[in-house]
Amino acid sequence: MNATDPVLAGLAGLAPTDTPDLTDRLFDAWLTADSLLGPVRVASTRDGISFLRTTAEFSEDDFRAAYRRRVGRPLRPTDAVPDGLEAALHGEATAAPRLDLLGLTDFQRDVLAATRTIPAGETRPYAWVAAEVGRPRAVRAAGTVLATNPVPLLIPCHRVVPSATGAGAGIGRYIFGVSAKQRLLAAEGAAIATAPAPEEGPAR
């Protein structure tokens, strides 16, 4: 019988009895927090904030499905608020919570990094962002990256606007809508064009 065979008994004894719990390693966490744009859902990995969307635009199911598509990792709720998150969501310029932006190309990463350097109260044209990442002709592509910003508010894509060429230029599009962009820029005291052009794409 197998039970009396020392080799088989030895093999059975090789099954580890102290399995680590991999749950913390596998699951990212999400919570709801308040922001200048109202409540937002925020997802974090162990290394930083990875995704943010308003509850107005994304139901819980939409949020989780979007995260699954973009990042491919499971989510579970948490009560632990990442350091600096609440301050950043309320516009404190010095708050810089740790981010962990997953599944991005180098270009996307560069565009978001350049955008993060724009100070509150100021704006930059899409063309500035493109030039900043060494791809001055990729203005439209830079705009597309910002339109899918994983962490709006924390990376201030609302501070990127069309090149200022007259009142008709407007403030450009925003992931949560033009009026939200106007509210944010006004709250930060940025000088913005008064005549919005809601359907305009990134400046050329």
Please give the residue ranges that form the binding site for other proteins (CB under 8 A): 2, 5, 7-8, 10-12, 14-16, 19-23, 25-27, 64, 68, 72-76
- What is the distance between the alpha carbons of residues 24 and 186, in angstroms, rounded to a whole number? 40
Structure tokens at 56: 């107005």
- What is the distance between the alpha carbons of residues 74 and 100, in angstroms, rounded to a whole number? 15
- What is the distance between the alpha carbons of residues 15 and 35, in angstroms, rounded to a whole number? 49
Structure tokens at 25: 């390693």
Q: In angstroms, what is the minimal distance from the CB of 109 to other proteins?
A: 21
- What is the distance between the alpha carbons of residues 97 and 48, in angstroms, rounded to a whole number? 8
157 is a catalytic site residue: yes
- What is the distance between the alpha carbons of residues 65 and 52, in angstroms, rounded to a whole number? 13
Q: How many residues does the chain have?
A: 204
Given the complex with other proteins, which of 53 and 173 has the nearer CB atom? 53
Catalytic position from the list 114, 157, 169, 175: 157
Q: In angstroms, what is the minimal distance from the CB of 125 to other proteins?
A: 38
Beta-strand runs (E) in 56-120 = 75-77
Given the complex with other proteins, which of 71 and 142 has the nearer CB atom? 71
Given the complex with other proteins, which of 70 and 183 has the nearer CB atom? 70
What single letter denotes the amino acid at residue 95?
A
Q: In angstroms, what is the minimal distance from the CB of 77 to other proteins?
A: 10
Given the complex with other proteins, which of 27 and 107 has the nearer CB atom? 27
Those residues whose C-beta lies under 8 Å from the C-beta of residue 31, and which sit 6 or more positions away, are: 41, 42, 77, 78, 79, 80, 81
Q: In angstroms, what is the minimal distance from the CB of 32 to other proteins?
A: 16
Strand, helix or coil at 23?
helix
Which residues participate in catalysis according to the annotation?
Answer: 157
